[in-house]
Structure 1
Amino acid sequence: MMRAAVLLAALLATAAAHAAEPIRIGITTILSGPTADRGQSEQYGAQLALDRINQAGGVLGRPVEAFYADNACKPAVGVPATRRLIEQEHVPVVIGALCTPVTHAIMPMMAEAKVPLVIATSAGQDFVDASGPGGNDYAFKTIPSEVDIAHALVRWLQTQDVKSVAIVADAGGFPQANAVAMAKAAAEAGMKVTDQATIAPATTDFAPLLDKLKATAPDRLWTMLGKSTTGFFRAYEASGWKVPITGRVDLAAALGAVSPGFRPSLSDLTSVAVFTPLLDKPGVRDFVLAYQARFQLMPTQRSFFVYEATYLVVDAIRRAGSDQPAAIEQALKTTAMPSLLGGTYAPDPHNHAHTPLFILGMKNGNPAVIATEQ
């Protein structure tokens, strides 16, 4: 009898220990190199979500733990780092990879391993096209693509009776993909594209470009700028051109580039955003305040979408009743988890969710949300 009791106690202890083993999720992002701050913002978003999930009891009676792989924004680093998550850490789902070339490189590997990949921050429409009917059943894209963003902005511009746009973007894959998407969305909506220009790297004299764009007399000037923001907006001020600027604009950088006396002239400046901490929704306000309190930083769109992606995979595990990859994949396909932004993460046939987008403008001299596009 004593021996049976000891054996039973040992079995119960083993079962309890197994029940307490963390459920693992993988996250691959940029944690080294010149853009490591971007990956850190993703890591912070995941940490905040996991803190809250585990404080609420975890999932399936177990805590949830993230295992990170630094991909350094290099496929040669990202592929083996992600493979380690699957083969050594045995994660049943991965969130990543922030860096577009790495995301492209790991997608086929994830599909071959039959482990779901939640693409929370890589924006490209090509990820959408490659998923579901595109052949990859294991890729799930949760952030809007440049096509979603362009169509949302065009819809809003139509409400402003805009009939034509000139498009200007920095060189590079991301700005150019957005410029192409905007030109196509505008044309599809019957909006004239009067010109489409690319800013060469290291450009310092923007006056000729502005003169060329001005000659086409567009109703709006659409911009997608990075390092050229300061020089471009200073040249815009000097040009005397009053056409309103829209696009994917860093409003704070644009306002900081011009003289204080010129800022009122940017009262019609607008931008489209997938997330903004300015959004006056209870869940977003709570997220922003909690993030600031924990990390002493303002959250970025990367922070937010990885925060919600963490909840999304945990919700899938809960609904599946399992932390096995196949069960998680099927649960992700049927998710209807609400987003704090509004709407849900219900995927379309290409495993792509469609959350609302936001039009930012100026109110009393400060950036503010002026419209929502579903």
Structure 2
Amino acid sequence: MNGLKTSALALGLAAGFASFGTDAAAQDCTTKIGAVLPTSVDWGKPIAATAQYAVDIANEAGGVAGCQIEMVLRDTQVDPKVGVDAAKALVDLDGVQLLLGAVSSGVSMPILTSVTVPAGVMQMSCCSSSTAFTRLAEEGKTNGLFYRTFATSGVQAAVGAMVAQDAGYKSVAVFYKNDDWGQDIGGLVADDLKALGIDVTASIAINDGQASFRAEVTEALKGNPEAIYMALYPKEGTQVVREWISLGGSQNMIAANALKSDEFRDNVGMQYLANFTGTDTASPRTDSASAFVDAYTAKFDGPPNGPGLANSYDATMIALMAMHAAGKDATGADIAAKVASITDPNGTPVTADAAGFTMAKEVLDGGGTVSYQGATGNVQFDKNGDVSAPAVTWTFSESGIEEQKYISLTEVNDFMASLN
């Protein structure tokens, strides 16, 4: 990144905190927004902290529609029932018109269908990738209330298949979590592997709450696959890998980003992860993405290496800018309708910091539109509320996560087109 631009953005962020505090203090109204995120798991806490970070920046920049924002956070425990109960409380008791979350598609979907759409509340997810949301939008069942800053499962599935092809694997067994997300990405990756001529020896569903997955692992071993692909979360992933290794399975492993977790690495052990490759969507190599990394590192004393952090930041910032454009006492539908004015490719470019938030408000108040340049780049949604994204492969090291390869948006799209 250009050092001068980085410095300018960093100074803008610092100046934003210094100059907007008086305005924030002078305000005497507060608007609540809701957040349903998995704070009881290690990888969920930073996602929630990043959303709060974006709220703090908006408040330092004078708030939204003349009021300070209070983010009321409730833990989903990555459990659909808990998530729905949390969302209902935020909508019915706290009266929120904007809901951030959830993370798992299996939690976001029931919240969308049973809480936010019936209540007319806008839902913005940082980290739900199931293509089922796209189908729901195409059928007109989201009422335009759902957006997400994370690319669909199709990207990671394709890159998982790419990893298998590049490694020369001829056969792969697929383990997937038995929920909306796992079923979606598990089916997609199986199709992509087959399109490349790679034998899918088994597709095994993994259910919550089992004491052991020995039966499932034994079934997968029957096909003697060269590698396994995992669309699992750390708890189930750890159990599956332990059983897999103990029963003589190969250490050739490919996984979706849900296993991008110190918990998983530490509980499995680095000695068994030498041939492990993870996939994830990525921020583009742009000045705005680099500026976010610098600002985040300064704020949290470390880079944003966990899953969904850049996406959480952009989801929150875009939603809050749309909330400002919609005005005080806006409904969820009002807020959702203003998202296009925040991500207009022909709008005034605004940075993802306090200075950029202030500029966005000025432009929007004057009747203009803005082009948000964020942690994941120049965000643009399609008619279904979806985004596309570049990708990366990564692996574990003793110190954390190491990127192996960056795959540009053009490369991702070209490879996905070749599969079809």
Q: TM-score, normalised by structure 2?
A: 0.65
Letter in 1 for 2:402: A
Letter in 2 for 1:81: A
Distance 1:167 1:305 in 2: 27
Deviation per CA, 1:163-182, whole angstroms, max 9, x where unpaired?
Answer: 54221345555444432232
Shift of 1:302: 5.1
Q: Give the conservation status (yes or no) of the 8 Å contact 1:41–1:303.
A: yes
- Residue among 58, 62, 70 paired with 1:65: 70
Aligned to 1:111: 117
For 1:81-120, what aligned pairs fall within 5 Å after superposition? 81-84=89-92, 89=95, 91-98=96-103, 100-101=106-107, 103-107=109-113, 109-120=115-126
- Residue among 297, 305, 312 paired with 1:306: 312
Q: Does 1:196 align with 2:203?
A: yes
For structure 1, which segment, 234-243 or 54-63, has the greater mean C-alpha deviation from structure 2 after superposition? 234-243
SS in 2 for 1:134: coil
Letter in 2 for 1:347: F
Q: Does 1:360 align with 2:365?
A: no
SS in 2 for 1:130: helix
Distance 1:36 1:250 in 2: 12
Distance 1:67 1:122 in 2: 20
- Residue among 51, 57, 64 paired with 1:52: 57
Q: Give the conservation status (yes or no) of the 8 Å contact 1:165–1:191.
A: yes
> Aligned in 2, Cα 1:333/1:133: closer, same or farther, shift over 3 Å?
farther
Distance 1:179 1:57 in 2: 44
Q: Give the conservation status (yes or no) of the 8 Å contact 1:344–1:355.
A: no
Identity, in percent, stands at: 19
> Aligned in 2, Cα 1:250/1:334: closer, same or farther, shift over 3 Å?
same
For structure 1, which segment, 142-151 or 355-364, has the greater mean C-alpha deviation from structure 2 after superposition? 355-364
RMSD (Å), alpha carbons: 4.2
Q: Give the conservation status (yes or no) of the 8 Å contact 1:82–1:106.
A: no
Q: TM-score, normalised by structure 1?
A: 0.71
> Aligned in 2, Cα 1:228/1:320: closer, same or farther, shift over 3 Å?
closer
Aligned to 1:338: 373
SS in 2 for 1:324: coil
Q: Give the conservation status (yes or no) of the 8 Å contact 1:360–1:369.
A: yes
Shift of 1:184: 2.6
SS in 1 for 2:338: helix
Shift of 1:360: 0.6
Shift of 1:204: 6.1
Distance 1:62 1:56 in 2: 11
Deviation per CA, 1:68-117, whole angstroms, max 9, x where unpaired?
Answer: 466674366235313326xx64x442223446346424445433444322
Letter in 2 for 1:309: A
Aligned to 1:26: 33
Larger Rg: 1
SS in 2 for 1:338: strand
- Residue among 101, 126, 131 paired with 2:137: 131
Shift of 1:62: 4.6
Runs of at least 5 residues in structure 2 that lack an aligned partner in the other structure: 1-22, 344-371, 410-420
For 1:132-147, what aligned pairs fall within 5 Å after superposition? 132-136=138-142, 137-147=144-154
Aligned to 2:159: 152
Q: Give the conservation status (yes or no) of the 8 Å contact 1:251–1:271.
A: no
Deviation per CA, 1:180-207, whole angstroms, max 9, x where unpaired?
Answer: 2321333345543232234573226477
Distance 1:139 1:258 in 2: 36
Shift of 1:311: 0.6
Letter in 2 for 1:139: F
Distance 1:177 1:183 in 2: 10
Distance 1:307 1:221 in 2: 32
Shift of 1:51: 1.7
> Aligned in 2, Cα 1:64/1:26: closer, same or farther, shift over 3 Å?
closer
Deviation per CA, 1:313-363, whole angstroms, max 9, x where unpaired?
Answer: 12324555666334422221354333423x433111211122333211367
Aligned to 2:280: 273
Runs of at least 5 residues in structure 1 that lack an aligned partner in the other structure: 1-15
> Aligned in 2, Cα 1:322/1:192: closer, same or farther, shift over 3 Å?
farther
Letter in 1 for 2:27: A
> Aligned in 2, Cα 1:96/1:21: closer, same or farther, shift over 3 Å?
farther
Deviation per CA, 1:14-65, whole angstroms, max 9, x where unpaired?
Answer: xx99x93546352131589xx4767654442222112222223334555333
